Structure 1
């Protein structure tokens, strides 16, 4: 099964505003319009079977609406695996965990930079403790700044992984968006059973040599294909990743299929 582990889709009423924000924040021209229909059309064109749609609450008040939307997308589209979200400022997080577990959501997205907290925020510790057996965490890691200033640097993630060995984490952007040298130092060269990596938002910013060094530093069976749609198009990202990394068709299909193993290990097999 070919899976895109890292996508975003927004409610039609706000999709254009969300895309405009992404364009301005990242100084890019998004490949998609931000809607679920466009996402699924592009995934189908790229022969991708399923996609994880990530929802993150930028404020505590958005936690319930974001999780409702993630569940509605998963219920409406067989191709969608919905990931919900939490916020350390949301007081009723324990009840919300029970609610989204009952809704069948398989994971939680955290984006400290956009959500306005640091990954070493002590309020996250009980959330990790309570959620680690039931949810996969997809966490944005890195930014174009120093580790000290960055809310989600690879070193903060490494400390969490060591403290919670039963916590399953997908480190987005190969473990450190725009700070891949730190990702290599903090996360490379050591196999952590609770750590996976996605490839989203990497290839536009690295050389082929840098990409190969990153991929070789992490276990290949822990690599997950991700596009960060609507920023990047699935078909274009598949071609660019394979070409720059020098992966054979067999190797590329293995990366595309690793997510199915992850989900099988953490709950019901995907249908």
Structure 2
């Protein structure tokens, strides 16, 4: 099954505002309008069967509405959408939210330290990782600022978490470090963490063919997941760009497109196994 592991869709009432914010923050023009209808239309055009829609609460007060929206998206589009919910270290009843997400069949949690205004090494996150690691895959935004010590999310902070929680399953967004790919290569290449995956989102618009080859060859091919970061970038264009830049054969592309299916199936089985015991 071909899956886009990294997309965003917003409630119709705020989609326009959210897209305007992304355009301003990243100095670009988003490819999509931010609505679920437009997202599913573009995924169909790219012949992708499912997409993971990531919801993140930018403040503690938004945790419940963000998760309610994630649950509703998955419920309304069960054949096309896998929704990831969110937590925030400033939200006190995170245990209740984890239970609500699990009961609703949500398989993953999105963290975006930069937009959520916390640092990835915030000690308040540690009990959340401990409690959530058996039931959820974490998709974590990594990168943005080129200097690690001024960056809320960087490869070094993620590596520390992976060492503390060897069983936690993490997808490091943007090949492990948006605009920090040299640091991602330094930390993760040849030092393979057992439960770490990388998505391809928001990389090919900036990567040279040389960098694309380095990234694709630095990590085990079965740990690379196709992601677009829609509405920033379009699935059809991202597929073409990844294939061209990476010089990937059709069979190699097929592996990358299919890896998410295996990860999410594995997660589901592990969650069931833990629950049964």
Q: TM-score, length-normalised on structure 2? A: 0.96
> d(CA) in 2 for partners of 1:150 and 1:179?
10
| Matched residue SS, 2:268 | coil
Task: Give the aligned partner of residue 97 of structure 1.
Answer: 98
Per the alignment, residue 16 of structure 2 pairs with 16
* CA deviation string 1:191-241 (max 9, x = no partner): 211100000000011101111101111111000000000000000000000
Q: Distance in 2 between matches of 1:74 and 1:180?
A: 32
Aligned residue number for residue 49 of structure 1: 49
Task: Note the alpha carbon deviations across 1:72-102, whole angstroms, 9 max, x for none.
Answer: 0000012000000000000000111111100
For 1:13, what is the secondary structure of its paired residue?
coil
Which of the two has greater helix per residue? 2
User: Aligned residue for 2:263?
Assistant: 262
What whole-Å deviation, never above 9, does each CA across 1:160-205 have from its counterpart, x for those lacking one?
Answer: 0011001000000000000000001111112211100000000011
The match for 1:221 is 222
Query: Does the residue aligned with 1:148 lie in a helix, a strand or coil?
Result: helix
Correspondences of 1:146-157 after superposition (within 5 Å): 146-157=147-158
RMSD over equivalenced CA pairs, Å = 0.9
Cα distance, 1:263 vs structure 2? 1.0
Match of 1:142 in 2: 143
Unmatched tracts of structure 1, length 5 or more = none
Unaligned runs of 5+ in 2: 271-277
Which residue of structure 2 aligns with residue 127 of structure 1? 128
- 1:208 and 1:155 map into 2 onto residues whose CA distance is 25
Mapped to 2, the partners of 1:11 and 1:224 lie a distance apart of 26
Q: Kindly state the Cα deviation for residue 145 of structure 1 after the two structures are TM-superposed.
A: 2.9
1:171 matched to 2:149? The reply is no
Looking at structure 1, the residues matched to 74 and 269 of structure 2 have their Cα atoms a distance apart, in angstroms, of 15
Report the Cα offset of residue 268 of structure 1.
Answer: 4.9
Deviation at 1:50, TM superposition (A): 0.2
Give the deviation of 1:44 after TM superposition.
0.3
Cα distance in 2, alignment partners of residues 144 and 131 from structure 1 = 28
The 2-side partners of 1:252 and 1:233 are apart by 17
Q: Deviation above 6 Å: which 4+ runs of structure 1?
A: none
TM-score by length of 1: 0.98
Name the SS for the 2:29 alignment partner.
Answer: coil
CA distance in 2, matches of 1:127, 1:194: 17
